[in-house]
Structure 1
């Protein structure tokens, strides 16, 4: 799910992953969200283990490693941290999902955007690393990261030409 002013890595991810779904918006009707999060798969939210009492967000359910033996649906929010917290606040069904934090990721390859820390990843990178973590196959998505590097290089060349 992404907000309407996203930079593009979620769209690239969606185009690159079969069986993915991309929904654009900030607030979703609970009945629609419930349909998307149907019980055929356990849904987990790619989001850090954080509580934000200031926003009144529910404490997240802990990710259980035993779930790795069952079909999972990875739900990803695309936006700034501020925007993603707002999306959680506005969508209680998303708050209720167990959260899957990322572990031991490499620095971001998304050099065309401003990041304050090296572990601040694009949506594409975060999702790829989460899928690799879930599937316990850290090299499976290397071709997608390589394609993303090509996209970043192409975008950077446009910036250099316009300067």
Structure 2
């Protein structure tokens, strides 16, 4: 898992990326705007032994569950060593921030793009502009579940437990009346 975090997100007290960093054993986080010359990231992207995809809903994106399948028959899994190692890049920021990252880093547009099936977000203390928009931690959990249901179920539960605790703590601190007024 590779996360490209917009600088604005690093300032948010309720960022979910720290939970991901502490929870996932293979999670690299790069913070900033311009990743065009980030050598480690570029090395990963250009490594023929790694299949890299960007979690981003472009019009040409395919469902993440089809990532790594052979064209024609999605049930056929690739057998080459090159396609067995995968890296998913996730952008962390508001939709406006993410569009900025896409513009500044044109190499991202050249990557295979995958999207998540529409899921209901559970981040009750942030307002999503549209239904189905998830926090970064929810998107990562859903991606893990879609790519490998058995592994993903365990990992998704491990990721979302501290996330749910964080939400409940914030609601408790703001009080029920404030929460209902602003988020219901």
- Report the TM-score when normalising by structure 2: 0.72
Equivalence for 2:21: 14
Distance across 2 between alignment mates of 1:118 and 1:157: 25
The SS at the match of 2:171 is helix
The SS at the match of 2:28 is coil
Q: Of the two, which has the highest radius of gyration?
A: 2
User: What is the aligned length?
Assistant: 152
Pairing partner for 1:82 from 87, 96, 119: 96
Equivalence for 2:167: 152
Shift of 1:160: 2.5
Give the direction of change, closer, same or farther, for the CA distance of 1:15–1:38 in structure 2 (3 Å limit): farther
Structure 1 stretches of 5 or more lacking a match?
51-59
Distance across 1 between alignment mates of 2:169 and 2:46: 38
Shift of 1:158: 2.4
Structure number having the greater strand percentage: 2
- List structure 1 segments (4+ residues) > 6 angstroms apart after TM superposition: none
Please tell me the root mean square deviation across aligned C-alpha atoms, in Å: 2.3
Check the 8 A contact 1:2/1:78 in 2, yes or no.
yes
- Report the TM-score when normalising by structure 1: 0.81
Structure 2 stretches of 5 or more lacking a match?
71-76, 79-83, 179-184
